[in-house]
Amino acid sequence: MKINLQDMFEEFAEARRNGFLIVKDVKESGNNIVGTFCTYTPKELIYAAGAYPVSLCSISESTIPEAEKHLPKNLCPLIKSSYGHALKESCPYMYFSDFIVGETTCDGKKKMYELLGEIKDTYIMQLPQDQDNKYGKLMWEEEMYRFKNKLEQKFNVVITDDNVRDAIVFCNEERKVLKEFYSLGKLVPPPISGYDMNTILNGVIYTFDKKIQNEKLRIITEQLREVHRNGESKIPVTAPRILITGCPMGGVADKVIKQLENVGAVVVTYENCGGAKNLAHLVDEKESPMKALADKYLSIPCSVMSPNKGRESLLKELIEDYHVDGVIEIVLQACHTYAVETRSIGEIMKSLSTPFISLETDYSTTDTGQLRTRLEAFVEML
């Protein structure tokens, strides 16, 4: 089945806006909705409860001034944007959510959730900060049961082990399809730009019918592989291949990814929340379901973990598999965990002889020109 790839890219680009209408229909049809912020949320349990998970709005600069009436100005823009949407009631996904679930990742989010709880029913999962501590693992498995109980009580349902197993298989299928699509970046030259890849990965977050989504992604992946086989990629073989790591990219994609590719590079892989970090591992379908969920989600190598050796291992693997020429780290203003890790990541890149640059930014456009200058210099160096 042939499709127009550009039309499909635009469809995923519009997924968030179109999802505003879909989420209203989903809710008015009698379905339950759970708003989420982070990749640590076990969406399998939400599906097992017969509900839909949906990512909440957090990439707009327009809501930040409202949030700064309650929150300090020198706080992460993602946190301020999220809270500003709640104050302004400008995020339909939040409006139609029956409740919101967050995790105790960074200190800024933890304290913001307290304020958010005054506006919307907000449930907090207590996330361990050490992935290898046996007590932390037991605690996180217990958090799975606590979240399961919350869903059962909120929606008056009983979640069985079979419900959870079915949801695990369902979500693993989506991960497999996304990993196959994501692996297009390994091709030389890649048949898709990093900006378009990021657009599709973001669009997936706001797609409710996962079966249709998976089928479209399979078709896109196969057509793009054909583009590569036929030597029809519009990306030059000589384009420097970039890995982007660090904070979520949603609010800065245009001034980082688009500008980077406009100056001649191509982003082939992302070690961010919506990229390889979340897709690296499937949930073990043979393990007891609640333990399997705990193991999978605790393995996500976010900078909130201490130590965070998983991020180092994943970066090394991605640099080799995706033939990376240079690494760019994005640190959102006041994201202290990623800012502190910059030094250790820089040392690892040095040991691998891989050029590395760290950029600190926020959601404003005031530093767009400065970022372009630094990106141009980095690409020229490559």
b/e burial code for range 38-54 (CB count within 10 A of at least 16 → b): bbbbbbbbbbbbebbbb
Q: What's the domain count of the chain?
A: 1
Q: What is the pLDDT of residues 348-357, one digit of tens each?
A: 999 999 999 9
Residue 189 domain-assigned (yes or no): no
Average pLDDT over residues 14-29: 89
**Averaged confidence pLDDT in the chain:** 95
Cα gap 174→215, rounded to integer Å:
10
Per-residue model confidence (pLDDT) at position 128: 97
Residue 58 domain-assigned (yes or no): yes
Hey, is 243 helix, strand or coil? strand
Residue 151 domain-assigned (yes or no): yes
Domain interval for residue 103: 5-159
Residue 37 domain-assigned (yes or no): yes
Residue 119 domain-assigned (yes or no): yes
pLDDT at 268 over 80: yes
Cα gap 279→289, rounded to integer Å:
18
Residue 61 domain-assigned (yes or no): yes
Place of tokens 């979500």: 171
| Confidence label for 11 from pLDDT (cuts 50, 70 and 90) | confident
Per-residue model confidence (pLDDT) at position 331: 98
Residue 97 domain-assigned (yes or no): yes
| Confidence label for 1 from pLDDT (cuts 50, 70 and 90) | low
Tell me the CATH number at 16.
Answer: 3.40.50.11890
Strand partners, 122: 100
Residue 123 domain-assigned (yes or no): yes
Q: What is the pLDDT of residues 115-155, one digit of tens each?
A: 999 999 999 999 999 999 999 999 999 999 999 999 999 99
Amino acid identity, residue 135? Answer: Y
Read off φ and ψ for residue 99, nearest 5 degrees.
Answer: -160, 170
Cα gap 311→332, rounded to integer Å:
18
More confident residue, 107 or 15: 107
pTM: 0.96
